[in-house]
Amino acid sequence: HPHQRRALEVCKVKMGLQALPVGQLLLCIVWLASSQNCLIYNRIPKTGSSTIMHWLNASINGHRHHSSNQFGVNRGTLTMQEQAKTAENLRKLICKPDSDMLHSYDRHMRWINFTNFGMPAQPRYINVVRDPIDRVASSYEYHRVGAIAARSKVRAHMDLNQTFNDCVRAGKQCRLYNRIRLALSEMTLYFCGFGSCGASPSATLNLALQHMREEYIAVGLLERHAETMRLFRHLLPVHFGAYPATGQSEVQVNRNNNRTSLVADDVRERLRTVGLDHQVYAEAVKLFDEKLRMMKLGII
Task: Say which DSSP state 44 is in.
Answer: P
Reported as type and span, the H/E element at residue 65 is: strand 65-68
The torsion defined by the Cα of 161, 169, 45 and 153, in degrees rounded to 10, comes to -40
| pLDDT 10s digits, 218-229 | 999 999 999 999
User: Residue 99's pLDDT is what?
Assistant: 61
Query: Are the C-beta atoms of 89 and 78 separated by less than 8 Å?
Result: no
Q: Residue 191 carries which side chain, given as an amino acid letter?
A: F
Q: Where are the beta strands (DSSP E) in 207-300?
A: 216-221
Single pTM value for the model = 0.84
- Return all residues near 298 (Cβ < 8 A) that are at least 6 apart: none
- H helix intervals, 35-112: 49-58, 80-89
pLDDT in tens, 91-123: 777 676 656 667 788 889 999 998 888 777 788
